[in-house]
Amino acid sequence: MQNVTIVKEPQSSINLALVYALFAAAAVGSYAGVLFSPDGIDRIVANHYDFWACIGLALVGWIVRSVGGHKGVIVTMTVLASFIILTLHQPMLLRYLTFAALLFSMGLYGMVQSRNAVRVLLSIELMLNAVNINLIAFSRYVDPVALKGQLFVIFVLTVAAAEAAVGLAVVLAIYRSRQTVDMDKFTLLKW
């Protein structure tokens, strides 16, 4: 076994710790989701053939990718087709909520995966927009008179503007001292 090469871990330890924390949060969240709606998982497993269609679609996309298809086209088609399959027979509120969940998950992926700090901020903006869609959908379909959801969206917009300003200023300050915006090289607090 002389030709075994040592696999170097490409992700930094900060990214890995974040991923593990998110994984634990997802596990806790799924447990809480089961508590919140005891038959949610059962519904998916038992009588949602659309869900299995999405998994089959992802498998087809994986096979086409391994044959040599273009990655972006396959990912886009798979996500779009899964979204349409999952939302076509739902009421309108659930369509908006599913769209918001999809945007939130995509923003989560971009936030963890990106190496450029500015792209991390862009992904956070995507996640905040998903939250805004949730709030406005609820204020449209649940509370259309008092419109409390739209009020909260105004405050979220304010906080998002402040967050973008301060975040980009932090990125500029770090760039001035480290000459980089690579997340893997922000090791100022590493012990």
* 52-71 binders of another protein (CB under 8 A): none
Residue number, 100 or 191, with CB nearest to another protein: 100
Min dist. Cβ of residue 118 to another protein (A): 6
Nearer to another protein, 145 or 191 (CB): 145
Binding string, 142-171, against another protein, x = CB under 8 A? xxxxxxx-xx-xxx-xxxxxxxxxx-xxxx
Angle, helices 92-113/71-87, rounded to nearest 10 degrees: 150
Binding marks (x or -) toward another protein, 97..136, rule CB under 8 A?
xxx-xxxxxxxxxx-xxxxx-xx-xxx-xx--x--xx--x
Candidate list 17, 19, 59, 63; residue touching another protein; CB under 8 A: 19
Cα separation, 137 vs 153, in Å, equals: 11
